[in-house]
Amino acid sequence: MIGMLRGTLAHKQPPQIIVDCNGVGYEIETPMSTFLDLPPLGKDVSLFTHLLVREDAQVLYGFATEDEKLLFRTLLKVSGVGAKMALSILSAMSVGDFARCVQLEDTAMLVKIPGVGKKTAERLIIEMRDKLAKAAEGLPQINKPNAVSDARTEAFDALASLGYKPAEIKRLLAKMDTDGMTSEDIIRQALRQTVGQGA
Q: What is the CATH number of the domain that holds 128?
A: 1.10.150.20
Q: CB neighbours of 27 closer than 8 A, spacing ≥ 6?
A: 16, 17, 18, 60
- Is the confidence at residue 71, as pLDDT, over 90? yes
- Is the confidence at residue 1, as pLDDT, over 80? no
In a domain, 100, yes or no: yes
Instruction: Using pLDDT thresholds of 50, 70 and 90, give the confidence band for residue 149.
Output: low
69 within 8 A of 50, measured Cβ to Cβ? yes
30 within 8 A of 15, measured Cβ to Cβ? yes
Domain identity same for 99 and 124: yes
- Is the confidence at residue 50, as pLDDT, over 90? yes
In a domain, 97, yes or no: yes
User: Which residue, among 65, 133, 139, has the nearest Cα to 103 in the 3D structure?
Assistant: 133
- Is the confidence at residue 38, as pLDDT, over 70? yes
Domain identity same for 23 and 43: yes
List beta partners, residue 46: 6
3-state secondary structure of 58: strand
Domain identity same for 58 and 17: yes
Radius of gyration of the chain from its Cα atoms, rounded to whole angstroms = 20
Domain identity same for 88 and 133: yes
Domain identity same for 46 and 27: yes
Mean pLDDT across the stretch 152-180?
A: 79
Q: CB neighbours of 78 closer than 8 A, spacing ≥ 6?
A: 123, 124, 127, 128, 131
Q: How many H helices and E strands in the chain?
A: 10, 5
194 within 8 A of 172, measured Cβ to Cβ? yes
Q: What is the CATH number of the domain that holds 55?
A: 2.40.50.140
Number of domains within the chain: 3
Average pLDDT, the chain: 84
Domain identity same for 70 and 131: yes
- Is the confidence at residue 142, as pLDDT, over 70? no
Q: What is the CATH number of the domain that holds 164?
A: 1.10.8
In a domain, 146, yes or no: no
- Is the confidence at residue 14, as pLDDT, over 70? yes
In a domain, 143, yes or no: no
Q: Whole-model pTM?
A: 0.66
In a domain, 145, yes or no: no
Q: At which of 63, 90, 110 does a domain end?
A: 63
Per the structure, the complete domain to which residue 167 belongs is given by 151-196
Q: At 39, give phi and psi (nearest 5°).
A: -75, 175
Domain identity same for 72 and 56: no
In a domain, 144, yes or no: no
Domain identity same for 86 and 126: yes
92 within 8 A of 119, measured Cβ to Cβ? no
Q: At which of 45, 63, 81 does a domain end?
A: 63
Domain identity same for 42 and 90: no
